[in-house]
């Protein structure tokens, strides 16, 4: 596959840009898709390479047809009265469940205390702790990254030859299963909202970027009555794939910040 990437102009000897463009492409092609995000900020050449057709496709999930962006169900954004103030990748929730599993097997914490006292490398001691890469990724502000300009759904451009899961039933639209608000006192969750949109009637939703998708999700929050009680909240995006319904379902988990915090 060819990458129409311009060569760097008059690079200095020994600099990163002095390497052949083909070598940059080869190196970047080995990166996991999450690593594309911070690497886009290294230099203009890397951003151009990672935004090119061949490497952009690595950031998409073929579990749906058309493929959806891998980062979409991991997005977290902060919404205020003035608008979206931050967009990041949320921490890996699987680590939370891992810690819960350890706690259920070791309710008194005795095993973990012994592990911490006897070895710095014991797996039990480190179980459930996020890796350095995961911790670093959750701190990356995506609004200045090129990744939010990726489309929510991948569509081949003329001349590309990606193999899509055509045997899978094609998604016919988006469905919003609502925002889950949890009461700060009772901790009782309440789900508000819910709506479906057919791509046939709303084609802009099929061809929107991730940036536009976050704005779309924020607009759904502001339409609800619960938002009127808050002026700032963090929202985690979640996807619920229900192929037989023909929709890609998504929802939001809300974490309000009390006024004055």
d(CA 88, CA 210): 12
The structure tokens listed for 212 are 């536009």
- Cβ neighbors of 245 (< 8 A, separation 6 or more) are 175
For the chain, domain boundaries? 1-61, 66-90+137-256, 93-129
Give 65's DSSP letter: S
pLDDT at 167: 57
The structure tokens listed for 233 are 């909240």
C-beta separation of 155 from 66 below 8 A: yes
Alpha helices in the chain (DSSP H): 21-28, 36-39, 44-50, 53-56, 93-105, 110-118, 123-126, 132-137, 203-206, 210-222
Peptide bond into 66 cis (omega under 30): yes
pLDDT at 227: 85
d(CA 250, CA 206): 14
C-beta separation of 186 from 219 below 8 A: no
d(CA 49, CA 51): 5
What is the rounded average pLDDT of the residues 25-44? 85
Q: Which pLDDT tens digit goes with each residue over 94-126? A: 444 344 444 544 455 554 454 454 444 444 444
What is the rounded average pLDDT of the residues 149-174? 76
Say which residue the tokens 């200095």 belong to.
12
| Domain 1-61 CATH (choose: 3.30.70, 2.60.40, 1.20.1280, 1.25.40) | 1.20.1280
Q: Which pLDDT tens digit goes with each residue over 205-233? A: 999 999 999 999 999 998 878 888 877 89
What is the rounded average pLDDT of the residues 64-78? 90
């Amino acid at each position: 596959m060819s990458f129409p990437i311009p060569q760097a102009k008059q690079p200095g000897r020994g600099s990163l840009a002095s390497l052949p463009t083909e070598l940059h492409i080869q190196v970047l092609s080995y990166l996991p898709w999450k690593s594309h995000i911070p690497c886009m900020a290294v230099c203009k050449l890397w951003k151009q390479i990672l935004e090119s057709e061949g490497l952009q496709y690595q950031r998409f999930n073929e579990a749906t047809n058309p493929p959806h962006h891998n980062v979409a169900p991991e997005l977290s954004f902060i919404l205020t009265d003035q608008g979206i103030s931050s967009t990041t990748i949320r921490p890996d929730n699987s680590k939370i469940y891992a810690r819960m599993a350890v706690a259920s097997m070791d309710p008194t914490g005795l095993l973990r205390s012994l592990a911490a006292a006897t070895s710095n490398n014991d797996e039990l001691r480190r179980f459930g702790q996020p890796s350095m890469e995961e911790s670093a990724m959750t701190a990356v502000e995506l609004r200045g990254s090129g990744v939010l300009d990726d489309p929510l759904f991948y569509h081949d451009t003329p001349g590309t030859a990606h193999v899509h899961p055509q045997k899978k039933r094609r998604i016919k639209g988006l469905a919003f299963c609502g925002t889950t608000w949890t009461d700060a006192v009772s901790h009782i969750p309440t789900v508000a909202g819910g709506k479906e949109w057919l791509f046939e009637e709303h084609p802009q939703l099929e061809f929107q970027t991730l940036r536009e998708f976050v704005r779309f999700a924020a607009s759904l929050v502001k339409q609800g009555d619960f938002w009127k009680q808050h002026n700032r909240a963090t929202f985690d995006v979640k996807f619920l794939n229900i192929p037989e319904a023909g929709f890609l379902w998504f929802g939001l988990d809300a974490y309000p910040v009390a006024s004055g915090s």
